[in-house]
Structure 1
Amino acid sequence: MDKTPWYRERVPEKTTTPTQTKSGKSKRKISWDVVRAGCVILVMIYHSTFLSVFLHPELAERSIRFPFQVGASMLLVISAYFACVTIGRGGLLRYWWGRMARLFPPFVGAVLLIFGIMHLAAIEGWFLPTWQDLLANVAMLWNWKPDEFFFIDGSHWTVPLQLMGFTAAALLFKSKLGHGTAIRVVLWVAVIVPILQWPIRVGGAPEAYRMIVDGIGAHRWHLFVVGVAIWMWSTRRIGWAHFAALLATCMLGQSLHNYEETPEGLVADWGSTVGVCIGMLVVAATAYGPDWNRVIPDAVGRWVTWFAGISYGVFLVHQTIGYIVSRTLQDIGAGPFLQVMAMLTTGVLLGWALTRLVERPTHTFLMNGYDRLAARRAAGAQQT
């Protein structure tokens, strides 16, 4: 079973060999698997204990609620960090293609699966997507026109931002803006510009302006900036003072993002803000400090590594299907605890299946195809 985490760049199967220490153990840091798995678990708990009831008030109130939107934001920070770690390995185009091949096919598979289950287990009064909705979701149009295009699964908002983030990283790395002093300027611009335009965004901006700003995810750029800043600081490319200033500014960006417009005015979600800021510090400590393998038992580590390996699939399929499972169980008399446990279990099982049947095979197929094409081009260039 292939357990290579999402953030490790793959090489063709015939040359794949794990990096070993003298003791024969892999050099991969278990701490990153713990952080990745923890973020996805936070997302699942947030959806199962809070958002499920918020979106569907007929569901039984949970005795324990976790109302903080933390995990998904932290996954973007981790994505940005590992974009920096992996971007210099191999050809730049192969790096970009690998990220697209990793993210997009399982996303499409998840959308099709969720669409099918929503129709097979349709619940009266709940949103039932049309074929137009299916196409709009595959095209990821929600952030651009939220009033016209509805999420089949709300968790998917991170996918286009990651695709854009990896594309921007490749373009920057190829240009002079991705190196030296220039990249520092880019980071500061990327975090300060959204902060400066925030009053416009929340003050009734024209629809065209809102569509562009939200479509490119400008209000989330600080999450990518802090991921890059953590990598630069942990590799001694920027000093403590510079890193602290960037980190504090990104925390400010997060606090502004978590203001919600209500009939009573703007209301701050300080719980989510504090949670994400703590998460930023955890990622920074993980990047800078030693591995956690000395305090995590091997048995626990194996489970964490397995879950981290399927976590993208779990993230993609657990929410909407979990709500349907919860409502179906409630209709036959199941209580809130069983509903939550069933939602978590269903998400893990379907995420494992999506990883095994879609994510890994399509990634291997697309990367092998890229490598064969690159080899043919190289052979043709040598002949000429």
Structure 2
Amino acid sequence: MSAEVQVRPPARSNRKISWDLIRAGCVVMVMVFHATFEGPQLHPELVPGRIHFDHQVGASLLLLISAYFVCVTIGRGTALRYAWGRIARLLPAYFAAVAITFLVTRYLSPPGWFRPSWHDFAANELMLWNWFPKYPFIDGSYWTTPLQLMGFIMAALLYRSGKLGHGRPLRVVLWALVLIPILQWPYRISGPPELYRALVDGFGFHRLHMFVAGVAIWMWSTKRMSHWHFGLLISTCLLAHALHTAIIGPDGSVHIVWGSWFGIAAGFAIIAIASRFRDWDHLVPKPTWRAIRWFAGISYGVYLMHQAIGYIVMRQLGVWHFGPTVQLAGMLVTGTLLGWALTKAVERPMQTRLMKWYDAVADRWTAARRTPEPEKTPEPPGEPSEQTGQQPEENRQPA
């Protein structure tokens, strides 16, 4: 044998800077929207500054991106493993974020601000707000987590079904998911019974079009959907979003929030371009890649941790006579640092442990199913059979 050591070149990563930039940009839009618009709306002492972004765009586009990457990754293993992997990533970080935000807002909020009770803490851990509006959000950003979980589980069930998750049946499902909320919209705004509202909001019917758009973009980018079909479906999704943003006046008139609608439409176009065409590595300066990828990697933690605690930081900076620009920077920095800590301390290690546990259990279960039973030795009639259930050592499958 030759003693020469062959060094293999490292495999090239398929990770695209375009997707990291889009994800990071969406989270920054969420933070700026909360700091410059929602913050002063909720707490008038947070004086608006020169930067003013009042369009709810980033969080909705994050749902679309989640749906897109479901399609990209769900075929890499079993549907059950995929669903467990999403749960392992989302829930531990969410539970920890709720606990941390609860303690900070309960004991450090300024006088006159909302201080959550222990009942509010339990309701937020259980994600009860859409079902029961009497329970307030400890942090307004939390509304996306249950929708993402339901989307991941639905995708796993569709994929596992073998029929509804592919081909023409999948197209029928997509059209149903976007058309049903549109058709029920007049009834939704007419003051329906509370049970109806709880079911519709609890299952996130008002956001289904974002998941449909994500799947449609993936199908179009992989040439599983024609241009005309894609254009028609995406246009219907945009109609659904226009209805979602609609404000009903006292006289019954309908007013569409066109600013947010145009932001969503632009997001659809940008994400579609990123999905179908070459990476933006020739457009994004290479020295910025590391920072963009780092921020995109902690984006879920940043999303969970920035808003309620960020408002407290902004308020304190105002007490110290810092202006709105410094207050905005304070929220951005605080959210980034807390998001990084949550990712490092909870999200990644817990996901790794839960996936190892799942793989160990799945391996043992698979090995038990594949273990051949010992051959039975024919015995004379009338004599009892003895089965020990033991398998020869050389025939056992490794767990």
TM-score interval (norm. to shorter): over 0.9
1:341, 1:263 → 2: CA distance? 38
Give the secondary-structure state (helix, strand or coil) at the position aligned to 1:87.
helix
Task: Show the counterpart of 1:58.
Answer: 45
Please give the alpha-carbon distance, in whole angstroms, between the structure 1 residues aligned to 2:109 and 2:32: 24
Q: Does 1:317 align with 2:290?
A: no
Identity %: 54
Map of 1:342 onto structure 2: 330
Shift of 1:24: 5.3
Distance 1:318 1:357 in 2: 16
1:141 match: secondary structure: coil
- Offset at residue 179 of structure 1 (A): 1.3
Aligned partners of 2:211 and 2:9: how far apart in 1?
Answer: 35
Question: Counterpart of 1:256?
Answer: 243
- How far has the Cα of 1:260 moved from its partner? 2.4
Give the AA of the match of 1:321: I
1:180 partner amino acid: G
1:382 to 361, 370, 383: 370
Residue in structure 1 matching 2:149, options 163, 167, 176: 163
Structure 1 CA distance for aligned equivalents of residues 339 and 266 of structure 2? 27
1:283 aligns with 2:271: yes
Q: Normalising to structure 1: TM-score of the pair?
A: 0.92
Q: Deviations over 1:161-214 (max 9, x none)?
A: 000000000111111211111000000010011001111111211111111111
Gaps of 5+ in 1: 1-20
Residue 193 of structure 1 is matched in structure 2 by: 180
Match of 1:359 in 2: 347
Equivalence map 1:37-186=2 (5 Å): 37-146=24-133, 148-175=134-161, 176-186=163-173
| Secondary structure, counterpart of 2:76 in structure 1 | coil
Distance in 1 of aligned mates of 2:272 and 2:140: 28
Query: Computing the radius of gyration over CA atoms, which structure comes out larger, 1 or 2?
Result: 2
Conservation of the 8 A alpha-carbon contact between 1:98 and 1:363: yes
Q: Deviations over 1:45-69 (max 9, x none)?
A: 1011111101111212222200000
CA distance in 1, matches of 2:33, 2:139: 14
Partner-residue secondary structure (3-state), 2:270: helix
How far off is 1:219 after superposition? 0.9
Q: Paired residue for 1:328, among 300, 316, 326?
A: 316
CA RMSD of aligned residues (A): 1.4
TM-score, structure 2 length as denominator?
0.89
Deviation at 1:382, TM superposition (A): 2.9
Q: Which amino acid aligns with 1:354?
A: L
Q: Is the 8 A contact 1:50 1:62 kept in 2?
A: no
Q: 1:264 to 1:333 in 2, by over 3 A?
A: farther
For residue 294 of structure 1, what is the aligned residue in structure 2? 282
Aligned residue type for 2:167: G
1:191–1:225 CA contact under 8 A, matched in 2? yes
**SS of the residue 1:88 aligns to:** helix
